[in-house]
Structure 1
Amino acid sequence: MDTYSDEIDLREYIEILWRWRFFIVGITFAAALTAALVSFFVLQPIYQASVQVLAPQTPVPAEVIKSPHFMDLIIDGLDLRDQYDAFSLSKAVSLETSKSSNTLTTIRVETGSSELSTRIANKIAAQFLEFVKKTHEDTIASSVGYYEEQRDAAEASLAAVREELAELKQTANLVALQNEVERLASQVTSYLTQQVEAELRERELQKGIEELEKALETTPATV
């Protein structure tokens, strides 16, 4: 008896669905059409552009690029002040650092224009590369300046001791002064060596920066 009742109920459901089939199809079609119209006329299309930068021995790229000051540089550089502020542009930018190499970072930009996304991505890469270059130059200049100051101070001390040694050649302090001369001479040599190493490192970093700039020029952003 229950089986017969179930068959009747199922038949009634099918008959109801059949009677309303045109309405159900119409509602489904209307929903699909509405979704298509909203996507086409209301929702703004999103275009993504990406570019990779290789910047060894630098601060974390996200901390630099996503900072308000850096975003303002991009906005002013591309004359986008009427479209973005630092916060809104930061929301359009994402970064991904390679797990295999923490020096390789992918910069992605999403906007409503493929051309604008590409311009912003390339500008960020170029601006970040300039930041890296400036950071290295400041670091090297500071290191070289420090070694030069230490060398000059050691040379001045050595000259003073040599003068004193010339005046006191016959005194009992001759051995001690001679030892001091040798110590300061060794110190001067050490500072000179450090200065040469710093200058060599500066040339290597400069060469690396030039190679990065060439790589950036020959690597187009992908949209």
Structure 2
Amino acid sequence: MDKERINEEEIDLRDYLEVIVRRKWIIIGVTLAAVIGAGMVSFFVLRPVYQATSILMVSKPKYQVELEPKIQTFIPSTELSLETYGNLIKSGNIEQKVIEKLSLNQPPNELTVEDLDKMLSVEIIKNTNLIKMSLEDNSPRRAMEIVNTWTNLFVKENEGLLLKEVREAQAFVKRELEASRQELFKAEEKMREFNERNKIDVLEKEIREILNKMVNYESRLADVKMSIKKEEARIEQINAILKKEERFLKLTKSIIEDPFLHQLMDRIGRDEDVLNLRFTSEELNPVYDNLAQELASSMISLHSLKTEKSELEKNIANFKKNLEALKKELAQEKLTQSRLERVVEIARQTFGVLSQKAEEIKISLGATSNTVKVVSLATEPRSPIKPRKGQNILISGVLGLFVGVLVAFFVEYWEESREREKKVK
């Protein structure tokens, strides 16, 4: 089975080769026609295209003014990316100036901005700060003139743009500097007015005086409380003793023992029975009396101490209330002072920064150098880049060969079909 399949494939391949050999003149003819046609078109129909190339170098500004973020927001940056420069090169404004300078809009050229834009290609050379400008045209001299004119115009335009941006920055900083000067003057004036009427020193002095009084009053209050405790303890002790003591003492005496009665008996005569008489009397207990007097004195002293304690507590409460009010007023005064000082400091800093930037821009304006420089201008190209005649002829020959083979097989198929039709008839 496999041998039969191999034999069939060998027969088919041999048939193909026989067709190619038998129809070789068709294949050769088609191939030659394609080659000759491509050669005719390349040499006599297609116009040669020449490419002229110039190279630019982009560098950072020699004097670069770095502004604060708040200020930078309003001023365009003079440092652009290479991609931005590439887009600026092909701006319609520059293209129109190139056309006008070289009179490319006049016969026989009659080029438009769109035509010129298609002729130029801009390439950013990788890992460098170089930009390559390549222009294609049928005239080598015109290609050189256009790309060189374009290059010089762009360098000049970029220099003008850089100078314009620096001047815009200068004008902006000048306006902001004047506004900042006014703000600083207003802030300092408010600070001066506040210092003339502020009560910070007076409030601090009053607070110190109240605190000293509070210390003295609280110290006295502590002594009074201690004295009250002592008096209360003394009163309790005296009351305990009084409970045990009798207020009156009962005394039993004979007439003889009483001096007054004894003298009286001496006058009226002595009677033995009368002399033996005894009588009972009550007298105030001196111990009880002394304790009662001491208790009264302690009660008076306790009342006086409690009155003093109440007055001290009332005065301390008033001191605290006044102290709290003074502290709030002092805090508000200091807050106002802090805010005014902060406003003055910010105004001074802003004015200082703007003054410094104004000087930097002034220096930058006097020493402005172009950020785009010409590395090399284009020279007149000697040989065209298009059309590639050898390549065109080679490709046409290959395509002609394929087409010739297809034509040969088609002719072979056509003739075999006609012979089969004749045999059938």
TM-score range (shorter-chain normalised) is: 0.7 to 0.9
Aligned residue for 2:54, secondary structure, equals strand
Change (3 A) 1:143 1:7: closer
- Deviates further, 82-91 or 58-67: 58-67
**Cα distance change, pair 6–72 in 1 and its aligned pair in 2 (3 A):** closer
Q: Is structure 2 residue 59 aligned with structure 1 residue 67? A: no
Q: Is the 8 A contact 1:111 1:117 kept in 2?
A: yes
Shift, 1:81, TM fit: 0.7
Q: What CA distance in whole angstroms lies between the structure 2 residues aligned with 1:171 and 1:125?
A: 67
After superposition, give the CA deviation of every residue in 1:127-148 in whole Å (9 maximum; x if it has no partner).
Answer: 2212221221121111111222
- Counterpart among 64, 86, 92 of residue 113 in structure 2: 86
Give secondary structure in 2 for the equivalent of 1:95. Answer: strand
Q: Matches of 1:100 and 1:80 in 2, distance apart? A: 35
The superposition leaves residues 163-185 of structure 1 with CA deviations (integer Å, 9 ceiling, x where unpaired) of 9999x7x9437xx7x96877655
Structure 1 residue runs of 5 or longer lacking an equivalent are none
Counterparts of 1:42-57 in structure 2, within 5 Å, are: 42-56=45-59, 57=79
Question: Residues 56 and 376 of structure 2 are in contact (CA less than 8 Å); yes or no, is this contact kept in structure 1?
Answer: no
Q: State the alpha-carbon separation in 2 of the partners of residues 15 and 91 from structure 1.
A: 49
Are 1:16 and 2:22 counterparts?
A: yes
Of 352, 357, 377, the match for 1:220 = 377
Instruction: Give the structure-2-normalised TM-score.
Output: 0.41
Alignment of 1:53-132 (within 5 A): 53-56=56-59, 57-58=79-80, 60-82=84-106, 83=109, 84-101=111-128, 103-132=129-158
Letter of the 1:61 counterpart: Y
Q: Is 1:142 matched with 2:168?
A: yes
CA gap 1:131/1:171 in 2 versus in 1, 3 angstroms: same
> Larger C-alpha radius of gyration, 1 or 2?
2
Shift of 1:86: 1.1
Q: Structure 1 stretch 83-92 or stretch 54-63: which is displaced more? A: 54-63
Query: Partner of 2:369 in structure 1?
Result: 207
RMSD over equivalenced CA pairs, Å = 3.8
The sequence identity of aligned pairs, in percent, is: 22
Amino acid at match of 2:376: T
Aligned length: 210
What is the match of residue 258 of structure 2? none
- The amino acid of 1:142's aligned partner reads E
Provide Cα deviations, 1:77-126, integer angstroms capped at 9, x if missing partner.
2110133111111111111112313x422111111011111111112212
Q: Is the 8 A contact 1:55 1:132 kept in 2?
A: no
Aligned 8 A contact 1:161 1:181 in 2: yes
Measure how far apart 1:44 and its partner are: 0.9
Equivalent residue for 2:353?
190
Evaluate the alpha carbon distance shift between residue 67 and residue 8 of structure 1 in structure 2; reply closer, same or farther with a 3 A threshold: closer
Is this contact kept in 2: 1:44–1:112, CA < 8 A? yes
* 1:79 to 1:162, Cα distance in 2 relative to 1, 3 A: same
Establish whether residue 37 from structure 1 lines up as the match of residue 40 from structure 2.
yes
Shift of 1:10: 6.7
User: Tell me, what secondary structure is at the counterpart of 2:369?
Assistant: helix
TM-score of the two chains, using structure 1 as the length reference:
0.73
- Could you list the per-position Cα deviations for residues 142-166 of structure 1 after superposition, in whole angstroms to 9, with x for gaps in the alignment? 1111222222334455567889999
Q: Secondary structure at the match of 1:48?
A: strand
Tell me, what secondary structure is at the counterpart of 2:105?
coil
Q: Where does structure 2 lack aligned partners over 5 or more consecutive residues? A: 60-78, 199-336, 382-425
Query: Which segment is superposed worse, 45-54 or 28-37?
Result: 28-37
Q: Offset of 1:192 from its aligned partner? A: 1.2
1:172 and 2:197 aligned: yes
Q: How does 1:145-164 map to 2 (within 5 A)?
A: 145-156=171-182
Q: Which structure is richer in relative contact order (CA contacts within 8 A, separation 6 or more)?
A: 2
Q: 1:51–1:108: 8 Å Cα contact kept in structure 2?
A: yes
Instruction: Quickly say closer, same or farther: Cα 1:107–1:8, change in 2 above 3 A.
Output: closer
SS of structure 2 residue aligned to 1:124: helix
